[in-house]
């Protein structure tokens, strides 16, 4: 069994005074100190990051991390767009499944605010298909197409979508490391300017700087006093082009990965108590709830309005207690690690004022691009 033995994340937001590797260094220093282990006990590092090659011309990041930690251990960098963190975590699990008695560090980090919005948007578009980029489609555009299709097919409107950021901003207000700690009203979401119809500014996750790290081990009885285990972590891929998809009201990669993850964990959706879902745009959380089997396809637009997945609802499944990508922020490579880290905090009773009661199982869904990659991870105690 792979144990998750600790978690640390930096403040998420506009961190003008910090570079990408300042953030990485902070995570390494803090998580080792917090857990009280020496860096010499780390056997390998897995690093999730998307944009350092595109924006900073820094691709050989493994070696840069070696310089920071002053170790000659194996270090791997993963890139799968916004799923870079989730894929790094999955790869770390594969490594631990293949090697006995190891302890590894998984880090996700992204530095976005030093660059103009045009540069960042162009960089992020590298995760989309070349043809769709040439056609002028941006990520807001791709998700807007899915949102339009979903709203039309199931007879919902923009107000249904607005309940996602409404809920997640409330959760963000409870997370002192979130980028946005301000509660917002449904009306404010509906009045915010359009980014790509029907998605508005307040339907969309922001540009964020931040880093997060997890310590994993497969050593028996090694500092796993909280007893949190990886029950499963599964990756699935799908066509990069939206035009090549069979259905626009689902992410097939999420469906496939979650099916495998539930099977491997020997659990069903009804067993999950907390979930961190990839709400890069409001429509994405609704699709994810359906694709993961929490809600029946086509019912999500109505179910979200009941706010049963909001902290304090008393329902069994609470979603995106961290604030999600929308309110906690979306430092691309760090997001997948932060999601699993939030599950760790919830499972170990460390989520303070947003702590959900009686948490036994948590699920994280991390998506790359518009569904070209998806990682579904289930943790349990």
Interface positions with another protein (CB under 8 A):
14, 16-17, 113, 116-117, 193
Which position among 169, 171, 278, 330 bears the catalytic label? 330
> What is the nearest approach in angstroms of another protein to the Cβ of residue 332?
18
Nearer to another protein, 152 or 194 (CB): 194
Mapping DSSP onto H, E and C, the string for the chain reads: CEEEEEEEECCCECCCCCCHHHHHHHHHHHHHHHHCCCHHHCCEEEEECCCHHHHHCCCCHHHHHHHHHCCCCCEEEECECECHHHHHHHHHHHHHHHCCCCEEEEEEEECCCCCCHHHHHHHHHCCCCHHHHHCCCCHHHHHHHHHHHHHHHHCCCHHHHHHHHHHHHHHHCCCCCCCCCCCCCHHHHHHCCEEECCEEHHHECCCCEEEEEEEEECCCCCCCCCCCEEEEEEEEECCCCHHHCCCCCCCHHHHHHHHHHHHHHCCCHHHCCEEECCCCEHHHHHHHHHHCCCCCCCCHHHHHHHCCCCCCCCCCCEECCCCHHHHHCCCHHHHHHHHHHHHHHHHCCCCHHHCCCCCCEEEEEEEECCCCEEEEEEEEC
Tell me if residue 169 is catalytic.
no
> What is the nearest approach in angstroms of another protein to the Cβ of residue 174?
23
Nearer to another protein, 180 or 344 (CB): 180
> What is the nearest approach in angstroms of another protein to the Cβ of residue 114?
8
Which position among 60, 82, 169, 171 bears the catalytic label? 82
Nearer to another protein, 88 or 144 (CB): 144
Tell me if residue 82 is catalytic.
yes
Nearer to another protein, 94 or 194 (CB): 194
> What is the nearest approach in angstroms of another protein to the Cβ of residue 325?
19
Nearer to another protein, 181 or 219 (CB): 181
> What is the nearest approach in angstroms of another protein to the Cβ of residue 121?
12
Q: Catalytic amino acids?
A: 82, 330
């Amino acid at each position: 069994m792979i144990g998750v033995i600790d978690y640390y994340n930096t403040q998420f937001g506009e961190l003008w005074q910090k570079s990408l590797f300042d953030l990485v260094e902070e995570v390494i220093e803090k998580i080792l100190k917090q857990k009280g282990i020496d860096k010499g006990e780390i056997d390998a590092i897995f690093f999730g990051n998307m944009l350092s090659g595109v924006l900073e011309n820094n691709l050989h990041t493994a070696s840069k991390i070696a310089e920071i930690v002053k170790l000659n251990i194996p270090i791997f960098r993963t890139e799968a767009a916004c799923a870079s963190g989730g894929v790094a975590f999955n790869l770390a699990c594969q490594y631990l499944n293949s090697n006995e008695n190891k302890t590894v560090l998984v880090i996700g980090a992204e530095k976005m605010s030093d660059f103009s919005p045009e540069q960042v948007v162009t960089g992020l578009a590298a995760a989309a298909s070349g043809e769709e980029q040439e056609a002028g489609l941006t990520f807001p555009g791709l998700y807007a197409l899915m949102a339009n299709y979903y709203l039309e097919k199931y007879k919902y409107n923009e107000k249904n979508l607005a309940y996602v950021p409404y809920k997640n901003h409330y959760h963000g207000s409870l997370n002192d490391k979130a980028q946005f700690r301000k509660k917002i009203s449904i009306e404010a979401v509906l009045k915010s300017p359009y980014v790509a119809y029907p998605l508005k500014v307040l339907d969309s996750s922001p540009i964020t700087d931040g880093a997060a790290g997890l310590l994993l081990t497969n050593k028996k009885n090694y500092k796993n006093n909280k007893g949190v285990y990886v029950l499963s972590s599964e990756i699935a891929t799908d066509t990069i082009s939206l035009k090549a998809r069979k259905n626009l009201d689902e992410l097939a990669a999420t469906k496939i990965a979650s099916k495998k993850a539930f099977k491997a964990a020997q659990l069903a959706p009804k067993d999950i108590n907390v979930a961190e879902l990839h709400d890069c745009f409001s429509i994405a959380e609704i699709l994810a709830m359906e694709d993961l089997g929490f809600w029946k396809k086509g019912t999500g637009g109505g179910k979200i309005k009941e706010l049963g997945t909001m902290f304090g609802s008393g329902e069994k499944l609470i979603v995106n207690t961290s604030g999600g990508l929308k309110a906690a922020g979306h430092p691309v490579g760090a997001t997948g690690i932060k999601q699993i880290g939030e599950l760790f905090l919830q499972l170990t009773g460390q989520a303070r004022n947003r702590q959900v009661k009686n948490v036994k199982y948590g699920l994280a869904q991390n998506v790359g691009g518009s569904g070209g990659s998806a990682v579904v991870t289930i943790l349990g105690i």
